[in-house]
Amino acid sequence: MYFEYRFILVSGTGSLMNRKDSDFVGSLRRVVGDAFVLEDRERVSDYLKERRGRFTSDTMAVVLPGSTDEVSQLIKLCRERRVPMVPQGGNTGVCGGAVSTERSIIVNLQRMNRIRKVDRLGYTLEAEAGCILSNLQMAAQDKGLYLPLSLGAEGSCQIGGNLSTNAGGVNVLRYGNARDLVLGVEVVLPSGEVWNGLNALRKNNTGYDLKNVFIGAEGTLGIITAAVLKLFPQPVHRSTVLIAVTSIDSAVELFSRTRKETSDFASSFELMSRICVEAAFRNIPGCRDFFDQPYPWYVLMELGDSTSDGISKQLNERFLEHAFEDGLIEDAVLASSDKQASDMWRLREAIVEAQLYEGKSIKNDVSVPLGAIKPFIERTVAALEARVPGARSFVYGHIGDGNIHFNLSQPRDMDGDEFFSRWHEMTDIVHEITDELDGSFSAEHGIGLLKTREMLRYKSAVELGLLRSFKAALDPDNIMNPGKVIPPAE
């Protein structure tokens, strides 16, 4: 047994740590250097934050390695001493995947932030896992290229975290999610061995596609230390439009039409319900209405191209004209400047923060086939209203991908803790309807600690068995982000 229950007070931290823990932390210091092992409670507090206030996080130490070799040495030490480790990027994940226990160490990749190469001819970028997503976008842009992965947290999330959660975002429609943007990865396995899978090839048909085992694994199978990403031509012309519609049917029909009429040029097709934009107007400075009357639903659509003449605007105008003629659109504002387009995006992205001001919230991130979006929303709103009268459904999301964020805010007259005590009752309603409509209970945010219960419920025994065998084969000592993604056997 590794832990010895003779506690000492670690100077200046206010936390209790036994002698062996402190020897262990000393060995971590020898790998990365004293400055890069954080124990002081104040300094570690940011790494322990959990956005939803749903889980409590603690740690023996936060370790900041500077190279793949240091990650490898850290893992070997942890394996030898059976100390669990929690890989961490920008800590913006929303499913508790980067939450740690007091006997685990957090390995945050922030120092591994070198962009190794931007290949203008091959349209690829190679970077270390700790690079902030928006820095990679800018590095591509500096070379006239485009990294399409884009999400509200892009100023603080790391590419390693994006790949580990297989993040989606607002451009999935045209460019795919994080998984689709990866050509190669470098991973340090739970054995400490380094797998260098950093190829930049578009075609490499040599057996199992191992990189995909690590993408979306949420740090349970190893630590991603670098990746080669696909780049695209930088869209130099964009056409952004905010459309008001009266029904979900119209929004879905519009989406189907835009694919054909704009020749699949749409990169984003986002849905927002009135309650979401009202919360943004109320709570987030600078958000304003673009129409002179309220509408129940809004669609934010963007087209982009890199042709010399710029065809997006023309395609968009023609599409809108036809849709008006056919009575699918109530009103629309076509952005006439970059500023107006970014104000429209600000409104969309403000919804996440705006909901924080509306009391406690329970978030669901589901996907259903496009034809099932309307019945999904209608059935779920009705079932929830019947079960928890007054619960407010914030419905928005990436409907071009069939991905709905069905977020509930506490009834105005209900205590927040009472609302939270009914968490499973409400999420079960959402997930049962999703399942009946052949959807997924987690479309883009992953599983983390938050949805292991759903894994047990909705994944078949065969699938759970496969997941457990992967985990056991790669991480027999269960030191790599234990408790996340894979539910314990019943």
**Three-class secondary structure of residue 18 per DSSP:** strand
Here the tokens at position 127 are 């970077």
**Three-class secondary structure of residue 300 per DSSP:** strand
Among 68, 407, 409, 452, indicate the residue that binds ligand 2HG (CB under 6 A). 407
Interaction of residue 227 with ligand 2HG, rule CB under 6 A: no
Give the sign of the dihedral formed by CA 314, CA 317, CA 323, CA 324: negative
Structural contact between residues 404 and 376, judged by C-beta atoms closer than 8 angstroms = yes
| Phi and psi, residue 298, nearest 5° | -130, 145
Smallest gap from residue 210 Cβ to ligand 2HG (A)? 28
* Cα–Cα dist 392/409, whole Å: 5
Cβ-count burial of 157 within 10 angstroms (0-12 exposed, 13-18 middle, 19+ buried)?
buried
Among 100, 104, 124, 165, indicate the residue that binds ligand FAD (CB under 6 A). 165
Interaction of residue 157 with ligand FAD, rule CB under 6 A: yes
Interaction of residue 363 with ligand 2HG, rule CB under 6 A: yes
* β-pair partners for 196: 186
Structural contact between residues 419 and 401, judged by C-beta atoms closer than 8 angstroms = no
Interaction of residue 60 with ligand FAD, rule CB under 6 A: no
Cβ-count burial of 386 within 10 angstroms (0-12 exposed, 13-18 middle, 19+ buried)?
exposed
* Cα–Cα dist 277/351, whole Å: 7
Interaction of residue 434 with ligand 2HG, rule CB under 6 A: no
Interaction of residue 73 with ligand 2HG, rule CB under 6 A: no
Among 87, 190, 483, 487, indicate the residue that binds ligand FAD (CB under 6 A). 87
Q: Between 129 and 148, how does the x/- string for binding to ligand FAD read (CB under 6 A)?
A: x-------------------
Interaction of residue 352 with ligand 2HG, rule CB under 6 A: yes
Question: If contact means CB under 5 to 8 A according to the sort of partner, which of ligand 2HG, ligand FAD, none does residue 407 touch?
Answer: ligand 2HG
Interaction of residue 272 with ligand FAD, rule CB under 6 A: no
**Three-class secondary structure of residue 358 per DSSP:** coil
Question: If contact means CB under 5 to 8 A according to the sort of partner, which of ligand FAD, ligand 2HG, none does residue 87 touch?
Answer: ligand FAD
Q: Judged by CB under 6 A, which stretch of 153-161, 241-249, 257-265, 336-344 contacts ligand FAD?
A: 153-161
Identify the residue whose tokens are 């190794």: 116
Q: Judged by CB under 6 A, which stretch of 82-90, 198-206, 295-303, 370-378 contacts ligand FAD?
A: 82-90
Structural contact between residues 182 and 229, judged by C-beta atoms closer than 8 angstroms = yes
Q: Judged by CB under 6 A, which stretch of 81-89, 227-235, 266-274, 388-396 contacts ligand FAD?
A: 81-89
Q: Judged by CB under 6 A, which stretch of 80-88, 367-375, 419-427, 451-459 contacts ligand FAD?
A: 80-88
Question: If contact means CB under 5 to 8 A according to the sort of partner, which of ligand FAD, ligand 2HG, none does residue 50 touch?
Answer: none
Among 84, 148, 160, 216, indicate the residue that binds ligand FAD (CB under 6 A). 160
Structural contact between residues 391 and 327, judged by C-beta atoms closer than 8 angstroms = no
Structural contact between residues 407 and 394, judged by C-beta atoms closer than 8 angstroms = yes
Smallest gap from residue 94 Cβ to ligand 2HG (A)? 5
Structural contact between residues 395 and 405, judged by C-beta atoms closer than 8 angstroms = yes
Distances, alpha carbon 281 to alpha carbons 274, 291, 302, 408, in Å: 11, 13, 22, 18
- Residue (of 232, 209, 194, 204) closest to 75 by Cα position: 194
Interface residues with ligand FAD (CB under 6 A) are 86-94, 97-98, 109, 129, 151-153, 157-158, 160-162, 164-165, 167-169, 218-219, 223-224, 352, 444-445, 448, 481, 484
- Write out the residues near ligand 2HG by the rule CB under 6 A: 94, 152, 352, 363, 405, 407, 444
